[in-house]
Amino acid sequence: MSSVTVLRSRSKTVEIGADRPFCVIGERINPTGRKKFAEELRGGDLSTVSADAVTQVEAGANMLDVNAGIPLVDEASLLASMLQTVQAAVDVPICIDSSVIEALEAGLSAYEGRALVNSVTAEDDRLSEILPLVARHDAAVIGLANDETGIPETPSKRLECARKIVSAAADYGIARDDVVIDPLAMTVGADPSAVKTTLTTISLIRDELGVNMCLGASNVSFGLPQRLALNAAFLPMAMAAGLTSAIMSTAPVCVDAVRAADLLLGHDEWGASWIAAHRARQATVPEAARVP
């Protein structure tokens, strides 16, 4: 019952699925916590958008998340401009990230390809606002496993929210393949059992719904030191439980952890991609400094 979610840029197709290599969605094009970047965007300077797009794809991102959420800015116009800038710089599918309906509409209208919308929740009003938009633009959508009561503490309640989103999407003609559930990653700095809860949720959703899943992987390490090491440890655990994609850092330690897990979980047959990436890296290093 496993799903395959198909996303497209102008000329490239990415498939997310349980038997496909893990989909790395670069998280960097987001002004949250980036004061200088936010000020650049506010002033109409999109040079960092282009640079971040290229850097992340070169680092191994299969898709890019694009967020234009800055207070007191015309988010719809800015998001459309950012999407056009990214598509001019790289040829990978995009996850259009906004909670503002007008911005999502503008972004989907500007985007060339088949996008992933980030995101909808199990709240009735959000479902009725966002799902028709997703259906109209033939997009796929990330569904956050929370509702009017907030973020559920238990895996069973998160599963219930996921079940509701998948059912509501079907009512609008959105196929199960095009619903990607976010099982919600919270920081272990605030709750030592947070990751266990997320992993259990992933397994429940995989076993009952069979849909693809995506989460913000960097959330698990928020407020803690050596965040990249924690993120890199978390991702293979989540993949083994059934996670098929993540909005994440493209730092080498994180991407390498994901690609190693792809090989070990049987999603990189005979290690072809792992070996090819190793050879490509070796080719850029002087012979005396190469490692076997």
The neighbour count for residue 221, using CB atoms within 10 Å, is 23
What whole-number percentage of the chain has pLDDT above 90? Answer: 95
> Does some domain include residue 165?
yes
71 Cβ contact partners less than 8 Å away, ≥ 6 residues apart: none
- Residue 21 CA from chain centroid, whole number: 14
> Does some domain include residue 197?
yes
Phi-psi region of 178 (alpha: psi -120 to 50; beta: other; left: phi over 0): alpha
> Which residues face 191 on adjacent strands?
none
Assess whether pLDDT exceeds 80 at residue 290.
no
Count structural domains, the chain: 1
Query: Which residue reads 């950012």 in tokens?
Result: 82
> Does some domain include residue 285?
no
Strand runs labelled E in 57-138:
63-67, 94-97, 116-120
Here the CATH number for the domain that contains residue 31 is 3.20.20.20
The neighbour count for residue 277, using CB atoms within 10 Å, is 16
Average pLDDT over residues 26-49: 97
Assess whether pLDDT exceeds 70 at residue 251.
yes
Q: Which domain holds residue 221?
A: 4-12+20-279
> Does some domain include residue 292?
no
pLDDT tens readout for residues 116-156: 999 999 999 999 999 999 999 999 999 999 999 999 999 99
What whole-number percentage of the chain has pLDDT above 70? Answer: 98
pLDDT tens readout for residues 52-94: 999 999 999 999 999 999 999 999 999 999 999 999 999 999 9
> Does some domain include residue 181?
yes
> Does some domain include residue 172?
yes
CB 63 within 8 A of CB 24: yes
> Does some domain include residue 291?
no
